[in-house]
Amino acid sequence: MIARGGYLINAWGDRHYRHHTASVAKAFTWAILVFSVADGLIDPDKPINKYWVGEGQLSHPHKVLSQGHHKKLTWRHLVGPKHESLHYGGFPMEMGVRWREKVTGLEQADVKPGVPKWYNWTGDPFYDLYSHVEPGTVGHYSSAGFWRLGQALTHVWDRDFRDVLQERLFDRIGIPAERCDWLAGRYIKDQKSFYPTIPDS
């Protein structure tokens, strides 16, 4: 729809169609982070491991936030400066089949950056989902870093993200709970053809 000055100019499409938002969820994660700071639950410049370490919850010991480069990882590293869309946590850009093929999934035209040299690439996207370089030193777009950010924030709130968003954001702007579905990360991971054109991504 297009609106101006409170008036509806034009509308089209099926308003009942539920569209998969993919990376739009990063904006929701940003909102949760802002609520966390506003409520005094976290200090964005303190290491995340002061709030959550992930021991016994993450798949490999090297992913635990008391290990390696994670020791210096702050909340702000995973979202980057407000004027950039870059993240400084040292996490891979994209995972899944693209990672195994040594491409990022962010190629444009003839540019094929592949896997940056500072990554310790094993070819296993599950194993390689950790901070490969000191946080704050390299900026780039990272879906992987947002996964870790979401996990840490879920621990801080001890609530489902959907409930927090519904209460703090959606209810206030008139979006009823039944208007959207929320798919957990484990569900997405187990669906090998969630993105049909990018299998196992």
Q: Classify residue 57: in a domain, yes or no.
A: yes
pTM of the model: 0.84
Task: Report residue 191 as tokens.
Answer: 């669906």
Q: Classify residue 9: in a domain, yes or no.
A: no
Q: Classify residue 49: in a domain, yes or no.
A: yes
Say if residue 197 is exposed, middle or buried (CB neighbours under 10 Å; 0-12, 13-18, 19+). Answer: exposed
Which pLDDT score is estimated for 137? 92
Q: Classify residue 197: in a domain, yes or no.
A: no
pLDDT in tens, the chain (201 residues): 899 998 999 999 887 787 777 788 888 999 999 999 999 999 999 999 999 999 999 999 999 999 999 999 999 999 887 667 788 999 988 777 778 888 776 666 555 667 888 889 999 988 999 999 999 998 888 888 988 999 999 999 999 888 999 999 999 999 899 888 887 777 877 877 777 776 666
Which pLDDT score is estimated for 14? 87
Which pLDDT score is estimated for 119? 87
Q: Classify residue 1: in a domain, yes or no.
A: no
Q: Rounded to a whole number, what is the distance in angstroms from the first to the last CA of the chain?
A: 32
User: For residue 71, what are the domain limits?
Assistant: 23-190
Which pLDDT score is estimated for 106? 64
How many domains, the chain? 1
Which pLDDT score is estimated for 159? 92
Q: Classify residue 5: in a domain, yes or no.
A: no
Which pLDDT score is estimated for 44? 96
Neighbouring-strand partners of residue 109: none
Q: Classify residue 73: in a domain, yes or no.
A: yes
Q: Classify residue 46: in a domain, yes or no.
A: yes
What does the radius of gyration of the chain's CA atoms come to, in whole angstroms? 18
Q: How far apart are CA 67 and CA 53, in angstroms?
A: 9
